[in-house]
Amino acid sequence: MKKIGIIGCGWLGNHLAERLSNQYEIFATTTTESKVEDLQSKGYHTTLVSFPNELNPEMKEWNAAKKLDAIIISVPFAGIRGAQIPMNDKRENLLNFLGDFKGQLFLTSSTGVYPETEKDFTEDDKPAQEVESESFILDKFPQTNILRLAGLMGDQRLLKNYNISNLDLLVNHIHYADICSVVEKMLDNHSESKVYNVVAPIHPNKEEVINAQKDLPYSGERTDVGRTISPNKLIEELDFEFQYPDPRYFHV
C-alpha cells in the first residue's frame, strides 16, 4: 500500500485522511497532544509537531518523509484572506521538516490571494510566484501543487449556522468532499506543479444559500456582478465533475 503524509490533521486534514485511508497508509501530524491518541486509534501513524512563528533550531526532517509517496500540507501559511503578515520563520520550520522530499507535494492555499474586486478570477490573474504564501515552497519544491481553496463547507459548516453580514454578496464555497476528490484525482494522475482554484462553479448570494439551508424560499434577484473565482482550469485539465456544484445544496 502506498504511503501519504498529511501535515495538519485539522477539520480538512481529517476528511482527507478518512477518504484516502482505504488506498494509502496514513502518516499524520497534529499540533495538539490530545489528538494524538484519537488519530492513532484510526490507524494513522501520528507525529506531534508544531510550526511556530519563531525559527525552531531543533526542527528536524520528518522521520516518515523518505518513505512517503505524497504529502499534503494542510496548515495555514498566510494571514486571513491572504493578508501579508510575517511568517518567514514558520515557513522555514516547515521546509526543514520536509527535508529534501522528492515525492508528490500539495499545499492548501486560499482564494483569499485574489483581491476584493468585482471580477471573475482565474489562476493567471495571480501567478503563484507572486504570492508570498505560495512561492516560498515552490522555490525549494517546484513540484508542489497549489490548491487555492474557497470557503470550506460541508457537515455542520453551513452558512445558516453563522452570524452572516452582506447577504447580497456572491459566495465562493467548496464542499470538503470535492476537495478530497480533486486530491484523489491528482494523486492518480501524478500531477506536479499545478495551480488550481478549487471552488464550486455556481455562485449564489449568501441569502440564497442560507434560505435554501433553512428550507425557505428566496424571492430576491441575484446579481451576476461580484467577486467570483473560476474553477474552469480545474474542470478542463482534470476532466473534473463536482459532486456539489451548488452551495445552496451542500446540506443535502
pLDDT tens digits for 121-156? 999 999 999 999 999 999 999 999 999 999 999 999
Q: For residues 67 and 4, what is the distance between their CA atoms, to the nearest angstrom?
A: 9
In a 10 Å sphere around its CB, with 0-12 CB exposed, 13-18 middle and 19+ buried, how is residue 34 labelled?
exposed
86 — pLDDT class (breaks 50, 70, 90): low
pLDDT tens digits for 49-70? 999 889 999 999 999 999 999 9
Which residues does 224 contact at the CB level (< 8 Å), separation at least 6?
Answer: none
- 20-29, 55-64, 202-211, 217-226: the lowest-pLDDT one: 217-226
**Region of residue 126 (phi > 0: left; psi between -120 and 50: alpha; otherwise: beta):** beta
Task: Give me the residue label for grid cell 463547507.
Answer: 153
Give the per-residue pLDDT at 93: 94
120 — pLDDT class (breaks 50, 70, 90): very high
Which residues does 113 contact at the CB level (< 8 Å), separation at least 6?
Answer: 78, 82, 126, 131, 133, 134, 148
Domain ranges of the chain: 3-249
pLDDT at 82 over 50: no
Compute the radius of gyration of the chain from its Cα atoms: 18
pLDDT at 78 over 90: no
pTM of the model: 0.94
What average pLDDT is seen over the chain? Answer: 93
